[in-house]
Chains A and B, each alone.
Chain A
């Protein structure tokens, strides 16, 4: 006797809002001799999944919400030569396609940074909805992708004594989303 479990291919129906306290977008980029990490928060995102499976996912995060370990570095990241928070205050994402197979998920969409939009695809995992301790229902999404920051006009660099750039162009993004049913 065998048990056949059919992999789930759709997302839980309903309207789901991001829990901004526990969600964030992390970034990691090679810098000089190691990996420099930081995050953006608070995240604003909404997922709408219809009974027919139609899925809409949009999200954004303020550039001013960049979290690094030094206020001067934070100010540099927000300056015109980097993210230019004054002119382009938000980083935003809008999904164009969501594919699920069991607990694995892939989301394609348009990412806008510094006013420039490029298509990206992020891969990760999804949990089943669960009752939370606050009387609500939530599920989790973890997504990762790698982008070339120079595609978005983030061209800052500082050469090392050997002439090579100190900051890599590839940046790993890792989204951690807690989605709470409306």
Chain B
């Protein structure tokens, strides 16, 4: 089983990328985790460019999602919503609509923000977008507020309650993925 991690934040010290790494620690040992690092290279969506072959960065994104059994998203919150670059990448991934690589794919959304609320509105919007695309969105939420204070120097999530929530959320994603893999076998 393989899980792909997609962070909606581009900056090097991103709390959301740390959150993905922290989540990956809770994956069972038989699960391979890949942190996708191609977000910055995805060009703006243009239907004129949405042809075969797809732009290289888009092809990489689609192949990464197609090659994973599940996707773990972590999003920051920009103006009460998801970052434009993440939405743009999902718009690319959603094409062609009827057969896109996210269709029926188990996904889960978590989020971190420097403010108090832990990107809950952005998480809600991301779940809405993923549902519309046709993904199987796991009904869980982890909101890491005051993210500046939540990670230790080595990147570990220091808050025990949040660690428990993250563990449960990862467990739910793995369970959903098992159901799908078993059904396909």
Residues of chain B with a CB closer than 8 A to A76's CB: 134
B97/A75 in contact, CB under 8 A? yes
Contact count band on B: 10 to 19
Binding site for A on B (CB under 8 A): 97-99, 103-104, 131-132, 134-137, 179-180, 183
A80/B135 in contact, CB under 8 A? yes
Residues of chain B with a CB closer than 8 A to A81's CB: 131-132, 134
Residue contacts A-B, CB under 8 angstroms, 15 given: A74-B98, A75-B99, A75-B103, A76-B134, A79-B104, A79-B134, A80-B104, A80-B134, A80-B137, A81-B131, A81-B134, A86-B104, A86-B183, A87-B179, A87-B183
Give how many A residues have a beta carbon under 8 Å from the other chain's beta carbons.
10
In the bound complex, CA of A75 to CA of B100 (Å): 10
B131/A86 in contact, CB under 8 A? no
Answer yes or no: A72 CB below 8 A from chain B CBs: yes
In the bound complex, CA of A75 to CA of B99 (Å): 8
Binding site for B on A (CB under 8 A): 71-72, 74-76, 79-81, 86-87
B135/A72 in contact, CB under 8 A? no
A155 to chain B, nearest CB (A): 12
In the bound complex, CA of A178 to CA of B150 (Å): 66
B98/A72 in contact, CB under 8 A? yes
Residues of chain A with a CB closer than 8 A to B137's CB: 80
A79/B103 in contact, CB under 8 A? yes
